[in-house]
Chains A and B, each alone.
Chain A
């Protein structure tokens, strides 16, 4: 993987996985060393000072009030913000030692290894089978498609519900099923890191619970970063939680990181006053 990417990036060989990042508690190696200094949309400063190293095989949750930039930071981890006109980032995102914003890096190559699940379920207007096969075809996968697709659908806990109708439209599924289909589509290519942007906000509580269980299973194999507005969800699934807040002092609305710690510590003994107030429910 690394070697493949450096053909695009022509970077000097970097250490396979950086260790000893500033995450406080004892942890596994850092998969993605994300250090945002500023993110601008045009002249608007959307996010400042957010350093969120993502540890391999963990679930990292981004929480905070709306407008705090948690989604913006998440989307900058696989360069999805490139599609927003005027987007500009200062800082770095090192993925397995390589800066994904370095000149010469192909964002398409980045997104192939770093999958994404969106807020709204967004299956393609084609069959369930083709939805899941999409990423495999993109990557010119030459193997047993049926096996891969079954594995991905089982991984997304959808197999039993759809195994008899793989050729029916993905759009005919319920909202919760659609979102699990999107997860299956994302994990079919076995991404290194899975970004989930409020994946449950459009789902009912039962479907939400299923997706949460799924995340805990996926953690065995994948690394996950999730944006959520649901504090209980962060507590239930996340190993580590980053709390973002909004700074309106300069007149704009700029998000920044308040604290980033293991979830139990953050919720059990928040260090900062804003975190304490937010967890209590003073703002939402």
Chain B
């Protein structure tokens, strides 16, 4: 090698970025930041718009809105206590059912009960459950579920008329069909999130219990479920958040009745269903009241979701020591 070869004649392929390339890079950077910020602005905008339109009603009705139980647009009298009650009540039953079935499904899908192939099929079927639009479940509820429930409901009402849960007759829509469909709708969420929590339990924990002679269900009850309990609880809370906000199935099946009853067979209403049923034809004053109701719904679901997310974060952190 000779020193003169040090700077060989090169075809100048490499060259500095053109002004366009450098400029576009800067613009692109700014653009992505702006759009990232826009998502925050979007959330803030939603809260702001609801607050802005609700504020006249908030100042007019105050806390009495939440404790009032009459919704009469003609007399400009608005209260959402029955709707809050209905939201909580339907969600309670839905969560009870979906929690039980969802955790069972999650176990079946994560603990090696099924051949790998059927496990995948079943997992996809559960996901399919989530893909069906809620309005279709509502339609199914009206024309399949309610007729199916009616004889049983009538029998229970005939034989236990004084038991509060069965105190009325199921004439059509009601708390029971609404809660059942709601359960179907949150089942995929509960199943998926608790399945993840169970799958995150290190296999060596179960292996240790098997090694001590435990049966499969002893392992599930003593090792898997306790270890995954944080995540399962988080799944239930997230499911509850979805149940509170679910609209169509309830608007179609709860009965749109402005009163609250403990009876499973009586019609009721929920916050989301109230919005869906009243917004399309609301006058100016009623819109204000509906915005107030939307604000209450927003705050409730926000609180539940934040709590759920925090539980999930803590559950994940709690398992870290096991890894």
Interface residue stretch chosen among B14-22, B79-87, B251-259: B14-22
Number of B interface residues at 8 Å Cβ cutoff, please give it: 19
CA distance A27 to B17 in the complex (A): 33
Q: Does A16 sit at the interface, judged by CB under 8 A?
A: yes
> In the complex, what residue of chain B is closest to A8 when comparing beta carbons?
B16
Q: Which residue of B lies closest to A31 (CB)?
A: B6
Q: Is B7 in contact with chain A by the CB < 8 A criterion?
A: yes
A235 shortest CB reach to chain B, Å? 18
| Secondary structure type dominating chain B contacts | loop
Beta-carbon contact of A56 and B7 below 8 Å: yes
Residues of chain B contacted by A136 (CB below 8 angstroms): 13
Contact-residue size bin, chain A (C-beta under 8 Å from the other chain):
20 to 34
In the bound complex, residues from chain A placing their C-beta under 8 Å from that of B8 are 57, 221
A17 touches B6 (CB 8 A): yes
A139 touches B14 (CB 8 A): yes
What 1/0 flags go to B1-30 for Cβ under 8 Å of A? 111011110111111111001100100000
Q: Is the CB of B18 within 8 A of A140?
A: yes
A112 near B14: Cβ-Cβ < 8 Å: yes
B75 smallest CB distance to A (angstroms): 63
- B7→A190 contact, CB < 8 A: no
Task: Point out the residue from A27, A55, A113, A190 that lies within 8 Å of B11, measured CB to CB.
Answer: A190
In the complex, the chain A residue whose C-beta lies closest to that of B20 is A140
Instruction: Give complex CA distance A28, B4 in Å.
Output: 8
Q: A106-B16, A108-B22, A140-B18 are in contact. Are A192 and B1 (CB under 8 A)?
A: no
CB within 8 Å for A4 and B6 given contacts A28-B1, A106-B22, A108-B22? no
Secondary structure at the A interface, as helix, strand, loop or mixed, is: loop
Residues on A with C-beta less than 8 A from B12 are 1
Residues of A within 8 A of B3 (CB): 27-29
Which residues of chain B come closer than 8 Å to A29, judged between CB atoms? 3, 6-7
Contacts of B6 in A (CB 8 A): 17, 28-29, 31, 55-57
Rounded to whole angstroms, the CA-CA distance of A173 and B1 in the bound complex is: 35
The interface residues of chain A lying within 8 Å CB-to-CB of B2 are 28
A113–B6 Cα distance when bound, in Å, is 15
Which chain A positions have C-beta within 8 A of B17? 106, 108-109, 112
Q: Is A191 an interface residue (CB 8 A)?
A: yes
Cβ-based interface call for A141 (8 A): yes
Q: What residues of B have a CB within 8 angstroms of the CB of A139 in the complex?
A: 13-15
- B14 with A192: CB separation less than 8 A: yes
Tell me if A112 and B15 are in contact (CB < 8 A): yes
Contacting pair B11 A5 (CB below 8 A): no
Within 8 A of B (CB), among A55-106: 55-58, 106
Partner of A190, one of B1, B10, B22: B10
Nearest residue in A to B10 (C-beta to C-beta)? A190
Chain B contacts of A106 at CB under 8 A? Answer: 16-17, 22
Smallest CB-CB separation from B17: which chain A residue? A108
Give the nearest-CB partner of B25 in chain A. Answer: A108
A192 near B13: Cβ-Cβ < 8 Å: no
**Which residue of chain A has its CB nearest to the CB of B4?**
A28
- Beta-carbon nearest neighbor of B11 in chain A: A190
Interface residues of A in 222-254 (CB under 8 A from B): none
Pairs across A and B, CB under 8 Å, 30 listed: A1-B12, A7-B16, A17-B7, A27-B3, A28-B1, A28-B2, A29-B6, A29-B7, A31-B6, A55-B6, A56-B7, A57-B1, A57-B5, A57-B8, A106-B16, A106-B17, A108-B22, A109-B16, A112-B17, A113-B14, A135-B13, A135-B14, A139-B13, A140-B15, A140-B18, A189-B13, A190-B10, A190-B11, A190-B13, A219-B1
A residues neighboring B (CB under 8 Å): 1, 4-5, 7-8, 16-17, 27-29, 31, 55-58, 106, 108-109, 112-113, 135-136, 139-141, 148, 188-192, 219, 221
